[in-house]
Every structure is written in structure tokens, then in C-alpha cells.
A and B are shown apart, each in its own frame.
Chain A
Amino acid sequence: MWRVLSLLKPYRKWMGIAWFLMLIELIVELWQPLLMEKIINEGIIKNHFPVIWKWGAVMIIASLLAFAAGITNSFAAAYVGQQFGFDVRKRLFMKIQSCSLPQVEQFSTASLITRMTNDVTQMQNMVFMSLRIMLRAPLLIIFGMVMALIVQARLAFILVVIVPFLLLFLIWAMKKAAERFSRVQQALDRVNRIMRENMANMRLIKAFVRSTYEQQCFRNENETLMAQTMTVSRFVEAITPALLFFMNVAIVVILFIGRKEIPTGGVNAGEVVAVINYTTRMTAALSIFTFVTMVFSRARASGRRIAELLKMPTNTKEKTHHAMITRGELEFVHVSFRYPASESFVLRDVSFSVRENETVAILGETGAGKSSLLQLIPRLYEVTEGTIFIDGIDVRHWDEATLRASIGFVPQELLLFSGTIRENICFGRNVSEEEMIQAAKAAQIHDAIMSFPNQYDTIVGQKGVTLSGGQKQRIAIARALIRKPKLLLLDDCMSALDAKTEANVWRALKAYDCTTLIVTQKITTAIEADTILLFKDGKLLAKGTHQQLLNNELYRQIVQSQLGKKGMSYAPRTP
């Protein structure tokens, strides 16, 4: 939690101001009973009007001062609280953006979202609270204690015994509650997860008529969340009656002492009344403490979850190579790879090299490691063993941003963002209208876009129109082409295109001056490539041209599955 709270540093000045103003308010507040007493004793009872006017005016001025201080404090506290929340969310978001993919994938999306919104709100509440009332409780208690001791130490000593004990109890309770609150947040994560899955999969759920089943799953998690929240709320809310009871017992004890001491003249009745009065005030302050405890322990649980993200190491190693890719040569040297969370290797000892402007098709069984291989090139994941060279330089030495800027990648998943088609195609690139249209035309999506009412300004993604799978794939292709990449990586990204469209895309791609790696299932696509890499179980089984690979058993099977027997004699039309 301290790690998160250290983000408050820039606002020390404002926090100081807020606390100072709170102090002014408090002093006025504590002074008020004395003023009232004066007005009553010296003014009203003695029927002395000037005193009433004088002290009345003082009181009103003082309370206006407190009002001004309070209002300013309200602004200062809101400023610090909101600014702090803003900063924490910003840090979290920037952290996630700077982490590698496997680091982010450790957490479920739902949990990341809860941490960035709900958990931050909890912390924010605590900061706001501490700037508004936190000082109040301890000051009221100290003040009450001191006054009680001044009035009559013999009566007040019981408070000296009981109050520290109660404070220790509060600290213990806060720790306990924090543990339980972290369970609440976890339950919230799970509720959020089911929600998210249901939102994304609603079509499937409806198709399989699984609404009742999903609702049952949700009901379970929802009940857990409810039970956890109830447990911790009841625990925290039980503190007040307990404290109240102890403080009330203290009052009875004070009465007993009074009874013993009054006859001997050690204590007088007025002192007993006064000390009891102060005890009551301290009790009220303690119940503020309970409230603070609740807010603090919840914030503590949230703070820990936020810190867990913030302390993730980011790769700060200075990259030596900042240039863009110039030639687009690629070489894999004994590359092996397994996903960080898994034990089995997806790629084993893969070596091959690709020349400038060469087109390479990657073929293989489902799950042979084809997509993983492509993802290693822009360093979405790091190789486990071996090295990948681009233009003769180890990819680990490239600056990620520049490396990726000259790679055009079309992933297999259809990832578009809420926004216009224009934004999705340009995706952060500052390009001219002509360049955008050129890329869209190459991807064979221009005509479809022009048929939408708003054309390139049509909103797509979660908030927009529903595009077909083929349309999404072509927008993703245009998004890659617009960067005029030196290295184009296509991950089975034309599966939803009909043959004619696909052929047109291929024809247009010829005009782009780049090295191309394409993962594909279609043998006709593979045949046209300069080289075919055939994968099985993460190993590079064979490499060569179509004719060379026909000797390979697996390759022959693939060809036969698509072209039948006659495929064996099939030759590319353009040599």
C-alpha cells in the first residue's frame, strides 16, 4: 500500500494545506462549547446583552472562518483525492502498456479492469477521507483525554488504561478486515470475469441455450461475493457496539470511583459530570475511527492489488539498435520456444533463413507452432533458446518500437478497436488519404467501405456496426499494409475470404517491396511461395519448393487432401 501511497508525494503541499485547514476547523469546533458556555453563563443568565452580542459575534465570525476553511479544505481534499486516483490509474495503464504480453496475460482481463477502476476508487476514498476527517478522530480523543486529565486525573486514569487498549484492538481489526476485503475484491474479479465472458460469448450462449446454466454459474459467484461482503461488513460494523460497550463500562467505573472519592472530598460531583461528558465525546470520536478503519482496510486490500501490478518489472534494458528494418532478411538459429506459463515446448530447435523480398509459406498441422513462430519475430514473446536475426541483428538488440514499426503483422484473431474504419486502418499512423485508400484497395476492402453510409468514418468495433469475418480480416490487412513494412507477417488471415478476393489481395501484395511470411492452410497459396516451411510438432520438418517437398509424406497428404491425386502434378502458373 505504501508503494501506491508514495504517488501522493507531488501533492504534499496541498495535503498540508488540507490538514492545516482541517485543524483550523477543529480548533474552532473545540472552542465553540467554551464560547457557548461564556454566552450562557455571563450573558443570558446575568441578562447582560453586550456580552451576548460580543461573544455571539465572535462565535459567528469564528464559525464563518471555519466554514471558509472547511470549503477550501473540501476543494483541496477533492483535488488531491481525484488527482491521486488519476495518477494511479495512469501509472497502472502505462505499466500495462509497457509490460510484455506474457506479463499482462498472468492476470485476467477482468481482474486488470477491477484493479484499475474499483480498487483505485477504494484508495481514492481513503485519501479523501484522511484529508477530511482522519485527523479529527485522534485529535478529539487526545483533546478529550487531556481535558479529562486536567479536570480530575483520579477519575480519568481509567481512560488512560482503556483507550490505548481499544486503539490496539482497532488496529488488529483493521488488519483482519483488510484480509477479508481482499477476498471481496477477488470475488468481484470473478463476477466481473463471468460478466465479461458472457458479454463476449452471448451468441454462443444463446445458440446452445445455456442461459440458465450461465445464470447458475453467475448466481454462485454472486452469492460468494455477497457472502464475503456480508462477512466483512458485519465484522467491521460489530466494532462500534463493542467499543461503545467498553467506553460505557468506563463510565460506570468512573461512577464507582466517584462514589468512593466524593465522600472523602478527593473528587467533587461537577468533576465526575465533566469527565463523563468528555468520555462520551471520546466515544463519538472512536466511532469515527471505526468508519476510518473500514475505509482503510478496504483501501489496504486494494492497495496491495494495485501494488502487485505496479511492481512488475518492465524491461528497461537499453536497446542499442534503433534503426528501421532496411533489407528484411530474417534468420532463425536453433530457436526453441515455450510459453512462460507452460512446460512443453511449442517450437524446438528451428533454424532457417529468409532472403530479402522472399515469400515464405509456413504450413503444418493444427497446433504445430506456426503462429507462435510468427509472434517471436516482433518479440511479442521472447525465444526460450536460440536467436532470431533481422538484417543480421539479434532481435533482442532492436528497439521494440522501431522494430515493430517496420513489421506489418496481421494476427489470426480479429482485433479491431471501437472507432472509425479510418482510425482502425491508420491506427496511429499519420498518412495521407491517398495512402490509406491505396492500402484499403490493396486489401480489397475499399469498395465495401465505400458502400457503407459513412464510408471511412463508419464506426466499427464494440460500439459500431458488425462487420463480417472477411471484412475484419481485410481491414486488418490494410492496417498492416499502410505501414509499408519491410517484413510482412500474415497469420492465416485470409481464411474468411473467397478465392477471388484472396487472389486479388495476392496480386496487390506483389506491388509491395517486402519480405513476406505467411501461415496458411491452402496449398495453392503455398505453391506460389518461393519457399515452403513444413512444421510438425514444433519442429521444422522440411523446407523447399513445392516440387522438392513432394517427396515428403506429410506434404503429399496435405496436397492430396486439397487437390486430389491430380495435385501431385500441379505446378505454379507463374514460374
Chain B
Amino acid sequence: MRHAHHRKVIKEKRPAKENIRTLKRIWAFLAEEKRRFLLVIGLVIVSSALSLLGPYLVGKAIDTIIAKTANGFMMIAGMLLVVYLALSLSLFWQNYWMIGIAQRTVSSLRLRLFEQFHQLPLAFFTRRQSGELMSRVTNDIDNMSQTFDSTAIQVVSSTLTLIGAIVVMLSLSPILTAVTLLIVPLLFGGMKWITNRTQPRFREQQQQLGDLNGFIEEVISGQKAIQLFAQEKEMIARFLQKNEQLKQAGFWAQAYSGFIPKLMNVLNNLSFALLAGIGGILAYEGMVSVGTIVIFTEYARQFIRPLNDLANQWNTLLSALAGAERVFAILDEQKEEEEEALDLPVIRGEVEFQHVSFSYDQAKEVLHNVDFSVKQGETVALVGPTGAGKTTILQLLTRFYDPTKGKILIDGHDILHIKRESLRRQMAFVLQDVFLFQGTIRENIRYGRLEATDEEVVEAAKQANAHSFIMKLPNGYDTMLQQDGGGISQGQKQLLAIARAMIARPAILILDEATSNVDTVTELAIQEALTRLMNNRTCFVIAHRLNTIQHADRILVLREGTVVEQGTHDSLLQAKGFYYELYHRQFQEVS
């Protein structure tokens, strides 16, 4: 029991510190706009003064009317118009600049987040749902965006009014000021009670929203499988569950934050009643004049209103902070470390694996003591049963992961000391899962080398045997691919991926199941083109259809993470080892 209580206290104390830290970080972002921000604050002061000046001049004007001093009135009316115009203008400009500051800040935060995603290791993404991450860029930041526009101005102007009101109140009557301030502890207590309830809910709401976003993204991406297996009802049921959780969090957050203005209203009335009651007694005792009480009640209202605004703003801010925390959580993720790494000079493409072992999770070694070397211009095929570690070898070569033991050398450079980008820039890839972007076919091919000319794009497409199908499309190379490369077949996507790799003219080419969905006649044509093109370039190929790799200069045969044989197709067949077995099985597979 005691333990539980203790924990609760810690839980309640933590947010305050965290809020301040989060606010500081947001301020650090805002600070890039310090000058403009000061300008806005200046304008807020001006407009606050002007809005006080207006009623004063109105009072003067009425005095002149009563006093029938005609000339004075015209001048005051003129001044009044000027004041009003200046007021509106200063309000306009402070809004105008503040929106600029807020939106630029939010936008730079969004960009920072996006850039951070690019600096995180791939392993980060395997643990997360992409839709959930997307939610941070849109929903969470949008939540902040809608708050910051108004909050800063409101906070400044409310604080100013508050200070002004207190100064005037003190000068009128310190006793009555004390009476008015009696409600402040109540106010703080109430606010604390409310925010203790709203803040966890705001957090939960944003988290549930992210969760829902992730779920929707996955479902819509897999809509085909859902329809095929008639799982619509099941998905709806799962959706409703998440939807319900979001609703619950949202309901309590919204309901509790709705208490704030109500609380303020009651306190306002309470303070008035106190003033009237205590003030009456004091007046009776002759300690204050009746006139002072009357004026004082007016100022007490002036005192409560900004407090109310501040309370509301604080609450909105808390909701924005819930989003900000989620954004900062990503910014705090460990980046892919890049210490003392060098740029790789232009390479010939010699690759050497020295006793390389690797495991993804410490538990199970995927590669054991892999040792081989590849000369410039060699085509090396990696062969072996599913799960033998073929793709893993390529993941290490490209430094998506680093070996647990052993070394990998390229042209004699240990790749651990080479910048990942610099290493990959001299390689080109066709990966197992083909990724295409929404955009034209031309753009997708050019992705391999951004400065390639249109002619080079066509040339690469021809070599990948993609040209003829592209020309059959209504807009040829300018055909827009829908999202996820929709609109063309899986095999055609692979052809485009090959064209994309060909245009890159790399020193090392990596083909991981590059033609698995391509018909074999086309595949042969691609291979011929590759042989021509890859002259002098090192090439790594993974393929299950062994006829694809028969002409490789060297075949590495893998089994359970170990290289069991290597040699040419013919020498391996003669050896009658594991490769021989694999090869012959291919022609007996249906038996």
C-alpha cells in the first residue's frame, strides 16, 4: 500500500519537470526567431496600451460632450480613430508575424524529425509501425501547430494585463488586493486537479491516435489480402477496439479540460462576493471608501480574466506538449553512429571477408567464420537453401549491419572505418522487395543516378528489357506509377529496379533475387546485358533458380551460415558435393 502511494507521488511530480524540459526544447526551436519574437512582444505591449487608451479617450469625449466644448470633441474623436486604427493594425501585424514564427518553427521541427528518420539505423524501423511514426509527423505536429499560433500572444498579453491589474489594485487598496488574491490558492488547487487528469489523457490520446494511424496504414496497405480472405469483419472488430480506446482517452481529456472556464467563472463570482462582503465591512469600519470598492470590483474582473486565459492556454499547451514529447522521443533516439569514418576513394571493387561471424540478436549466429575474397570484375553468386545467410552477407557488405566478429575489406580498406554513405555510393542494388515511388517511370529509373540524362534512362531501360513494356504504356516513360508501384506487374517492377541499378554505374553491383518474378526468357536477355555492362565491375548475385547463376565466375555455396564450397559451376558439379545436390534437385523438384 505504502509502496503504491509512493509511486503515485513520483508519477505526479514527474510531469512538471518533463513539461518544463519539453517547453525549453520548444523554446530552443523558437529561439531561431528571437528577433521577430521580440518584435511581436513589442506589438503586444503596444496593442495592450492602445486598448486601454481607447476607453480613456471615449470617457474624455463624453466629458467634452457634457461640457459642450465643441473643438475638443473633434480632436478627441480624431485621436480615437487614429488609436483604433493603430490598434487594429498592431493586432494584425502581431498575428501575422506570430503565425510566421509558429509555422516556421513547426515546419522546421517536422523537417528535423524527417531528417532524424534518415539517420536512424534500419533496425529502428523493424520495431515500429510506419503509420504510427507517420502520426508523429502529421497529427502530433499539427496539434502543436494549431496551438502555437495563438498561445504565445495570449500568454504575453494575459501576463501584461495581469501585472497591470495587480499594480492598479495594489495602488487602490492593498487590503482589498489581499482579499482578491484569496482565491489564488483555490485557483491553483483546481488547476492542478484538472491538469493532473488532463495531461495523462492528452498523452494517451496522442498515443492512441498514433496506434490507430498505424493500424489503418497496415490494413489499407494489405487490403488485398483482407478481401481475399474475407477478413473485413475481423478488421472492423479490431478497428473498433482501437477506436474505442481513442474515444475513451479523448472523452476524459476533453471533459476535464472543459472544467477550466467553469471553475474560473465560479471563482470570479466568489471573489466578487468576498469583495462585496468584506469590502462592505471594511467600508463600515471606514477603512476603505465605497468608491474604492466599486472601482475595485471592476479591476478584480480584469484580474480574473487573464488568469482564465492563462489557465486555458496552459491546458491547450499541455495537449500540444503531449505531441511534442512524442516528437522529441524520436529525436532522442540513438542515431547510426559514425565515428572517425573516412570517405572511400574510387574503388576497383575487390572484396574480402575475413573470418566474419554475425548474429542479429546475440542469441543465434547467422554467419560463422565466413572467409572469402573477390577480385575486381568478378561475378560471385551466393547459393544455398532458404535461411543459409545469403542476404545477411550482403547486408554486412553494405553496412546495414556490422559483423560481430571478423573484418570486411574493400580494396584493402576495413569498411568499419568507412562512411556508410560513401561506401554505398559506389554500389548499386536490386533488392528482394522491389520499392518504387509514386512518380513517373522515368523518375523511378533515374533514382539510381539523379543526374542521368533522358537518353541514359532509355538506354538503361533497354538493357533491363523494360523498354518494350514501357513503350506500351499510354504515356511511355512519363506514365505515373501509383503508390507502391501499383499499376504494373511484379515482374515489371523488378525490370525497373534493374534499370535503376544499371543507370547507377557502380563499382559493385548487388542483385538479391533480382529476377525472381521475371520470366526466364527475359532473364537471359538481362544477363547478357549485365555481362556486357559489368565488365570490370564486381557483382554479387543471389538467385534460387540455379540456371540464373551458372555463368558466374565463382559460386559460394552456403549452408547454415557457413561457406561449404566455392568454385565455378562446372568444378562444383564435378566435386559432387552440396551444390551438385542442389543443382540436381532443381530438375527433380516435382516428384
Contact = CB atoms under 8 A, between A and B. Distances in A.
Contacts of B535: none
B189 interface: no
Interface residues of B, number: 175
Contacts of A59: 269, 272-273
B30 interface: no
Contacts, number: 508
Contacts of A501: 385-386
Given A104-B223, A405-B230, A245 B85 contact: yes
A229 B513 CA distance: 45
Contacts of B290: 44-45, 47
B414 interface: no
Nearest to B473: A344
B531 interface: no
B149 A44 contact: no
Contact of A44 (B294, B400, B435, B519): B294
Interface string A106-146: 00111011101110010010001000100000000000000
Contacts of A563: 547, 587
B234 A371 contact: no
A161 to B, nearest CB: 18
Interface in B372-388: 384-387
B429 interface: yes
B114 interface: yes
Interface stretch (A148-156, A168-176, A220-228): A220-228
A56 B99 contact: no
A240 B91 contact: yes
Interface string A88-105: 011001101110010011
Nearest to A205: B118
A303 interface: no
A117 B208 CA distance: 11
Interface string A51-75: 0110010011011101100110111
Best-surrounded residue of A427, A468, A499 (most CB of chain B within 10 A) = A499
Given A241-B91, A380-B224, A196 B474 contact: no
B103 A414 contact: no
Contact of B265 (A29, A495, A574): A29
Nearest to B210: A117
B280 A52 contact: yes
Contacts of A82: 247, 250-251, 254
Contacts of A207: 398, 424, 427, 429, 431
B125 interface: yes
Contact of A114 (B92, B138, B504): B138
A20 to B, nearest CB: 16
B222 A188 contact: no
A454 interface: no
Given A85-B250, A118-B138, A562-B547, A524 B220 contact: no
B232 interface: yes
Nearest to B90: A241
Nearest to B78: A252
Contacts of A219: 111
Nearest to A99: B223
Given A59-B273, A209-B424, A195 B217 contact: no
Contacts of A363: 519
Interface in A342-370: 342-344, 363-367, 370
Contacts of B420: 206
A199 B519 contact: no
Contacts of A498: 384-386, 544, 582
A102 to B, nearest CB: 11
Interface stretch (B19-27, B34-42, B482-490, B562-570): B482-490
Given A49-B280, A113-B131, A503 B591 contact: yes
A448 interface: yes
Contact of B297 (A40, A124, A208): A40
B186 interface: no
A557 B521 contact: yes
B216 A112 contact: yes
Contacts of B421: 209, 211
B359 interface: no
A206 B117 contact: no
Interface in A260-283: 262-263, 269, 272-273, 276, 280
Interface string B380-413: 0000111100010000001010000000000000
Given A93-B236, A117-B135, A463 B128 contact: yes
B545 interface: yes
A428 interface: yes
Contact of B490 (A64, A98, A371, A464): A371
Contact of A365 (B450, B488, B522): B522
Tell me the interface secondary structure of chain A in the complex.
Answer: helix
A438 interface: no
B590 A525 contact: yes
A296 to B, nearest CB: 14
Interface in A485-541: 492, 495-503, 506-507, 521-525, 527-528
Contact of A113 (B65, B114, B213): B213
B387 A470 contact: yes
Contacts of A409: 228-229
Category for how many chain A residues contact B? 35 or more
A435 to B, nearest CB: 16
Interface in B253-289: 254-256, 258-259, 261-263, 265-266, 268-270, 272-273, 276-277, 279-281, 283-284
A197 B269 CA distance: 56
Contacts of A198: 114, 117-118
A383 interface: no
A384 to B, nearest CB: 16
A45 to B, nearest CB: 5
Nearest to B61: A255
A199 B133 contact: yes
B134 A202 contact: no
Nearest to A112: B220
Interface string B354-373: 00000000010000000000
Contacts of B252: 78
Interface in B422-466: 424-425, 427-429, 431-433, 435, 437-438, 447-448, 450
B254 A128 contact: yes
Interface stretch (B160-168, B238-246, B327-335): B238-246
B221 interface: yes
B65 A241 contact: no
A570 B587 CA distance: 10
B171 interface: no
B474 to A, nearest CB: 6
B173 interface: no
Given A210-B447, A215-B118, A44 B276 contact: yes
A193 B240 CA distance: 25
B134 A195 contact: yes
Given A118-B142, A276-B58, A413 B224 contact: yes
B519 A506 contact: no
A418 interface: yes
B218 A237 contact: no
A273 B62 contact: yes
B590 to A, nearest CB: 4
A532 B395 CA distance: 38
B129 A367 contact: no
A45 B54 CA distance: 29
Given A117-B212, A191-B138, A469 B547 contact: no
A258 B62 contact: yes
A20 B235 CA distance: 39
26 contacts: A44-B283, A47-B290, A59-B269, A63-B268, A67-B266, A82-B250, A101-B227, A105-B482, A109-B483, A109-B484, A113-B213, A117-B213, A196-B131, A208-B448, A209-B425, A213-B450, A255-B77, A276-B58, A371-B489, A463-B128, A465-B126, A496-B516, A499-B585, A499-B586, A558-B520, A573-B591
7 A-B pairs with the lowest CB-CB distances in the bound complex, closest first: A74-B258, A366-B491, A70-B262, A199-B130, A495-B516, A63-B269, A528-B590
